[in-house]
Amino acid sequence: MGFKVAVVGATGNVGREMLEILAERTFPTDEVVAIASRRSLGSEVSFGDKTLKAKVLEHYDFSDTDICLMSAGSEVSKEWSPKIAAQGAVVIDNSSCWRYDADVPLIVPEVNADAVVGFRKRGIIANPNCSTAQLVVALKPLHDRAKIKRVVVATYQSVSGAGKDAMDELFKQTKAVFTLGEIHNKKFSKRIAFNVIPHIDTFMEDGYTREEWKMMVEIKKILDPKIKLTATCVRVPVFIGHSEVVNVEFEEPITVDEAHEILRKAPGCLVIDKHEPGGYMTPHECAGEDATYISRVREDTTVENGLTFWCVSDNLRKGAALNAVQIAECLINRKLISAKQKAA
């Protein structure tokens, strides 16, 4: 018997990708349901070679749903995830709403799959922020080998990380620049076309943004509470694919060759690192791919035991939809959930 899976936010950037990944990986489903807001009632979304008509969240009964992949923002998740979990579906949530709750596991399967059992407390599992997911996939194997003390990261985040309206804004602004049309800023505080914006999410009292704070807190919860991290998160005019420059200080010495070897064997990582033009990965090439790509690994001689590298991944996949589906696979493979009996 297969599982009944509901995707809430199915008309969004992440929700559509979730449906695609469920189909691609032949996830063991009996039924997949697409759910969105009233605005999308009857809209169609693709699931493999099928088309699903979107249903409205408020009217949906989750009592025979096994797994709910939730991707409709924090406000919706705050209200609905506990209600859906109370109806007996395991909720895997993409928003930041539950990530910092001590009773909700925050999971990247390549890094802390064992923590998934903690889902029993609330029936909810959290997916990390997109920039955290790719970072911890790359850092985990290096941490296992040489113990990370401190990380300094700068991100170059694509507009798809801010939802489908943000992608439209980049497209419309880019067109307007060429046709001398008017430029409107709605999703972003400044023009994003042909620009970069050093600001993602809201500002906090200490001058960091919440996006930066999320990376600092999430790395501790997923990887190791002792790791110190400072981040600068920047939005760039790229549609899909987040890039990061990562500077790491280790407790023990580690060479570039060792790091290459460790990362080549690490789950979820691919190393593309030739010292020649084009011998590295860019966001354009990583779109639609599952891996976290690592390039430009080099020694940082300004600190003891330092390495710097470039890391790129598809934020809609490893940063969101793929990670959520991998968590669901983890529950099934570890026999932590079984499909509910469905009415005939």
Ligand X SMILES: NC(=O)c1ccc[n+]([C@@H]2O[C@H](COP(=O)([O-])OP(=O)(O)OC[C@H]3O[C@@H](n4cnc5c(N)ncnc54)[C@H](OP(=O)(O)O)[C@@H]3O)[C@@H](O)[C@H]2O)c1
* Token output for 226: 């002792």
Closer of 113 and 320 to ligand X (Cβ):
320
Shortest CB 149 distance to ligand X, Å: 27
> In terms of CB distance, is 169 or 273 closer to ligand X?
169
Among residues 5, 116, 130, 311, the one that binds ligand X under rule CB under 6 A: 130
Distance from C-alpha of 23 to C-alpha of 28, rounded to nearest angstrom: 9
Segment lying near ligand X (by CB under 6 A), choices 24-32, 193-201, 260-268, 314-322: 314-322
Scanning residues 318 to 337, which ones bind ligand X (CB under 6 A)? 319-320
Nearest distance from C-beta of residue 55 to ligand X, angstroms = 10
Q: Say whether residue 315 binds ligand X (CB under 6 A).
A: yes
Which region among 12-20, 275-283, 288-296, 329-337 touches ligand X (by CB under 6 A)? 12-20
CB of 84 to ligand X, least distance (A): 12
Residues in 51-110 at the binding interface with ligand X, rule: CB under 6 A: 57, 71-74, 76, 94-95
CB 43 to ligand X: min, Å? 7
Give the long-range contacts of residues 293-302, CB within 8 A, separation 24 or more. 293/269, 294/138, 294/263, 294/269, 294/270, 295/271, 297/256, 297/259, 297/260, 297/263, 297/271, 297/273, 298/256, 299/255, 299/256, 300/247, 300/249
- Residue 155 as a binder of ligand X (CB under 6 A): the answer is no
- The residues annotated as belonging to the active site are 130, 242
**CB 233 to ligand X: min, Å:** 13
Binding mask 265-304 for ligand X (x = CB under 6 A): ----------------------------------------
d(CA 337, CA 335): 5
164 binds ligand X (CB under 6 A): yes
Q: Looking at beta carbons only, is 7 or 307 nearer to ligand X?
A: 7
Taking the least distance from each CB to ligand X, the nearer of 12 and 141 is 12
- Answer whether 7's CB lies under 8 Å from 23's CB: no
Q: Map tokens 């709750």 to a residue.
A: 101
Least distance between ligand X and beta carbon 283 (Å): 12
Task: Name the token pair of 108.
Answer: 């990247």
Nearest approach, Cβ of residue 316 and ligand X (Å):
5
Report d(CA 131, CA 314) in Å as an integer: 10
Q: Rg of the chain over CA atoms, in angstroms?
A: 20
Distance of CA 62 to the CA centre of its chain: 25
* Integer Cα distance of 247 and 335 in angstroms: 38
Note whether 209 binds ligand X by CB under 6 A.
Answer: no
Total binding residues toward ligand X, as defined by CB under 6 A: 28
* Measured distance CA(162)–CA(247) in Å, rounded: 25
Contact with ligand X (CB under 6 A): which of 105, 141, 161, 268?
A: 161
Q: Determine, following the binding rule CB under 6 A, whether residue 159 of this chain makes contact with ligand X.
A: no
Which of 246, 276, 277 is closest to 263 using CA atoms? 246
Cα–Cα distances in Å, from 232 out to 167, 183, 210, 224, 320? 22, 27, 11, 20, 20
Q: How many CA atoms lie within 13 A of 73 on its CB side?
A: 9
CA angle 159, 81, 220 (to 5 degrees): 60
For ligand X, the binding residue among 6, 12, 33, 66 (CB under 6 A) is 12
- Measured from each CB, the residue nearest to ligand X is 12
Instruction: Give contact residues for ligand X (rule: CB under 6 A).
Output: 9-15, 36-37, 39-40, 57, 71-74, 76, 94-95, 130, 160-161, 163-164, 315-316, 319-320
